[in-house]
Structure 1
Amino acid sequence: MTAAHQPPGPYAIVAVASSAGGIQALIALLAELGPDLPVPVLAVQHLDPRHRTVIADVLARRTELPVKLAVDGEYARPGTVHIAPPARHLLVRSDGLLTLTDTELVHFVRPSADLLFESVASAYGPRSIVCVLTGTGVDGAKGAQAVGSHGGTVIVQDPEDAEHPGMPQAAIDTGAADFVLPLEEIAAFIRGLVEAKRQ
């Protein structure tokens, strides 16, 4: 997604993070985003790097959006879900170029939601939306703060609705959450944001 091809409108990108219980949560979210989302989706799901991952195939069967493992040096494409591969951090530049790194673990995990969210905040500022779903630990909380401080929008799954409330609660505890919603309402809310003011 080069600068010339960035989506018009108030938002340019959506980033999602999940961990324990996250596969089902991602399925529920992506299935409701519809086939014509006008922005890219970048996703971090904590996965066991010792096993070959089939997450992209699993998610692709449950959503109308194309789903693929992110590739180093490719551009994020509107209407496409780019999943961080196991054991690689996923970052994005302001021109939409994706970068994968194998730098040190963050909060004992790689890929890290914090690093993804921080790169999204730096690259897109107020045109970014990030979403923290079910999971254990605190990954995503620091990144959510970065997005908030850059004027982006932070959506968090209601901890009472999450299979594992740790990650959502940690994000809420930072004070960065703009909206706390049950999982079933998040996709429609995101669509409302990214489609606002589009011609």
Structure 2
Amino acid sequence: MTVTPVTPRPGPAPRAEAVVIGASAGAVDALSVLLPALPAGFPLPVMVVVHVPPDKKSVMAELFRNKCRVDVREAEDKEPLAPGTVYFAPPDYHLLVEPDRRLSLSSEEPVHYSRPAIDVLFESAADAFGPGLVGVLLTGASADGARGLRAIADAGGGALVQDPSEAMVPTMPRAGIAACPTATVVPLTQMAAVLGTLGERS
């Protein structure tokens, strides 16, 4: 499948209030391009689910803390969201957003054989933020995140997908495009700039 990257459509857009990002195989390389490119004054909270082994301590937050100009931490249960902060889901816990927009951790059954699962975060955040949410689906080897991206779009939010032609593993972004044809396909090197534009509207 050939997908041509497109520029987000101009015109009025919902006020962005939060960003959710999902990635799997190739996640570290992709996030190493995206997250350090976010500006120091980025105004939105960013929640990230990466498929990580359940039996090992995650080093994702530690790895990115020194690379980024925004605050980076591992999410904690019942933690309120703060602007300009990146929250990584801890190993073996689903990361959700409660209706009061606090983070929540769950040990419910894996989804797509994964815990944390991208769909769980995307769908709960879509319920909490509605049109104020922006979902980003990156490289990965499963369909996790596709259903959640569609839920974000159905709630009026923004849906962004890494260009599959440049993804280390294109399965996940292709599944996202198939489930959510209205998603905007963005080259990874332009993703932070697109998010920065959305942040300026918040």
Q: Counterpart in 1 of 2:3? A: none
Alpha-carbon distance in 1 for matches of 2:162, 2:110: 24
Q: Quick check: 1:105 aligned with 2:110?
A: yes
- Aligned CA RMSD, in angstroms, stands at 1.2
CA distance in 2, matches of 1:76, 1:26: 20
1:130 paired residue among 129, 135, 147: 135
User: Which residue identity lines up with residue 120 of structure 1 in the other structure?
Assistant: A
> What is the aligned partner in structure 1 of residue 37 from structure 2?
32
The residue number in structure 1 matching 2:58 is: 53
Q: Deviations over 1:57-91 (max 9, x none)?
A: 10112111111110001111100001000110000
Question: What are structure 2's unaligned runs of at least 5 residues?
Answer: 1-13
One-letter amino acid matched to 1:112: A
**Which amino acid in 2 is paired with 1:51?**
K
Identity %: 40
Structure 1 gap ranges (5+) = 1-8
Partners of 1:177 and 1:124 lie apart in 2 by 19
Bigger mean CA offset, 90-99 vs 71-80: 90-99
| Equivalent residue number for residue 177 of structure 2 | 172
Aligned to 1:182: 187
CA contact (8 A) 2:149 2:180 kept: no
Q: Structure 2-normalised TM-score?
A: 0.91
Asked if the contact 2:93/2:116 (under 8 Å) is kept, the reply is yes
Tell me, yes or no, if the aligned pair for 1:11 and 1:127 is still in contact at 8 Å.
yes
The answer for the alignment partner of 2:164 in structure 1 is 159
State the Cα deviation string for residues 103-131 of structure 1 (Å, max 9, x = none). 00101001011010001111111100000
Q: What's the offset of the Cα at 1:93? A: 2.1
Q: Confirm or deny: 8 A CA contact 1:27 1:63 kept in the other structure.
A: no
Q: Alignment partner of 2:189: what SS?
A: helix
- Hey, what's the Cα distance between the residues in 1 that align with 2:196 and 2:180? 24
Q: Which residue of 2 aligns with 1:4?
A: none
Q: Is the 8 A contact 1:19 1:136 kept in 2?
A: yes
